Amino acid sequence: MPAKILLVEDEPALVETITYNLRREGYEVLSATDGADGLRVAQSASPDLVVLDLMLPTLDGLDVCRQLRRSSNVPILLLTARKSEADKVLGLELGADDYVTKPFSMRELLARIKAMLRRNQVINPDSRTSFGPFVLDDARHEIRKQDLPLALTPLEYNLLRFLLQHHGSTLSREMLLEQVWGYDYAGDTRTVDVHVRSLREKIEADPAAPHYLLTVRGIGYRLDLD
C-alpha cells in the first residue's frame, strides 16, 4: 500500500506542485487548505505523514501540531517561511519531527519525506531491548517503563533506539542527524537538542540532572545504562 500523506497548505500553486511530485513518487495525497480542515482530515484519515504549513487560516500550523499531538504520533514535517529560530524550535517542542524553510527545493522536501517514512518503519518486529526500568518493543514501536507505555513520538523512539544501540559511545549531533533523521548534516543541530530535551522529559526522573541520557559538552550525547 502506498504511504498516505496529508498536505496542509493554503498556497494553491504550492499545493499543486507538491501534490504532483508526491503522486509521481507513488504516494497517496490528501490535502487541506486551512488549519481546522487539516486537523479534521488528519484525525479521520489516519495519514502516514503530515506536511504542515505554519501560516494557515482559521488555525495556524502550531495550533494544529499541538492539537494533533494530543491524540496521534503521526510524523509531522513543518513548512515555514518564518526565519525566526524561536518559531522553529517551538514547532519542534510542540511535537513536529522536522521542518523545511521556504523557499525549498522539491528534491529536499522529497528526501525529508522519504527519510521520515523510512525511519517510522519497524526494523525488527520481534526485537525487545531492556535497560533499567525500560523495555523497547519494536513490534509496538513503543517504550514501556515498568510495563506502562510512554508517549514517545516515532522520532523520539528511533532516537532512543539508536542511542541504545550505541550505548556508552558519545555520538555527535551531526551523526545523529545523519543516522536518525536520515539526511546529511545541513547545519541545524538545534533540531537534535530539542528532541533530546523532549526525550529526557519522558524517560528521566529529573530531566535537569539526567541519569541515562547525558550531554558531552561540545560533542553530542551519550546513553549510559549504569
- The position carrying cell 535497560 is 131
Q: What share of the chain is helix, strand, coil (3-state, %, to 5)?
A: 40, 20, 40
d(CA 214, CA 221): 6
The domain made up of 4-119 has a fold known as: Rossmann fold (3.40.50)
What is the CATH number assigned to the segment(s) 128-223?
Answer: 1.10.10.10
Alpha-helix runs per DSSP H in the chain: 12-24, 35-45, 61-69, 85-93, 106-119, 154-165, 173-176, 190-203
Q: Identify the weakest region by mean pLDDT among 35-44, 91-100, 180-189.
A: 180-189
Domain with CATH 1.10.10.10 in the chain: 128-223
Mean pLDDT of the chain: 88
Determine phi and psi for 201, rounding to 5 degrees.
-65, -20
Q: What is the pLDDT of residue 120?
A: 65
Q: Residue 117's pLDDT band (boundaries 50, 70, 90)?
A: confident
The pLDDT assigned to 185 comes to 46
CATH 3.40.50.2300 domain extents, the chain: 4-119
Please state which of the ranges 12-16, 114-118, 207-211 shows the lowest mean pLDDT: 114-118
57 cis-preceded (ω within 30 degrees of 0): no
User: Is the model's pLDDT at 153 over the cut of 50?
Assistant: yes
Mean pLDDT along residues 210-217: 95
3 state DSSP class of 64: helix
Predicted TM-score (pTM) of this structure? 0.73
What letter represents residue 147's amino acid? D
